[in-house]
């Protein structure tokens, strides 16, 4: 019985780890730039109102990626993701300013 419980727990842990590892998130960056921009090997798709990146790259906002994207597109109005992290003029203004600094 203990072996069966242990096997069940192991399977549950494996499934939850796999599901978590495959989770894709979406990042948005405000800019008027159009086209594809590469930052740190990531392809941002920019539509003239925002650049969008989707993939299994974690849950946070990355300052190096933000700075490189900002430098390549001429500054960002905001930078956020679908997990609730936001850098904008109204939320975390200092981080957005750091992102846009040269």
Q: What is the pLDDT of residues 9-57, one digit of tens each?
A: 344 444 444 455 579 999 999 999 999 999 999 999 999 999 999 999 9
Distances (CA, A) of 1 to 4, 10, 13, 15: 5, 14, 18, 21
How open is the CA angle 82-64-40, to the nearest 5 degrees? 85
Tell me, yes or no, if the pTM score tops 0.85.
Answer: no
* pLDDT for res 102: 80
Helix, strand, coil proportions of the chain in percent (round to 5)? 40, 30, 35
Distance CA 76, CA 92 (A): 13
Sheet arrangement for strand 34-39:
34-39, 42-47, 50-55, 25-30, 79-81, 86-87
Share of the chain above pLDDT 90, in %: 76
Token pair 């960002």 is at which residue?
76
pLDDT at 3 over 50: no
Tell me which of 65 and 1 has the higher pLDDT. Answer: 65
């Amino acid at each position: 019985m203990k072996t069966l419980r242990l096997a069940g727990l192991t399977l549950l842990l494996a499934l939850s780890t796999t599901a978590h590892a495959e989770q894709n998130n979406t990042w948005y960056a405000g800019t008027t730039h159009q086209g594809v921009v590469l930052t740190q090997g990531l392809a941002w798709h920019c539509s003239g109102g925002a650049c969008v990146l989707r993939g299994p790259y974690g849950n946070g906002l990355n300052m190096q990626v933000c700075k490189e994207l900002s430098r390549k597109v001429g500054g960002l109005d905001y930078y956020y993701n679908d997990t609730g992290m936001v850098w904008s003029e109204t939320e975390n203004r200092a981080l957005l300013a750091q992102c846009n600094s040269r």
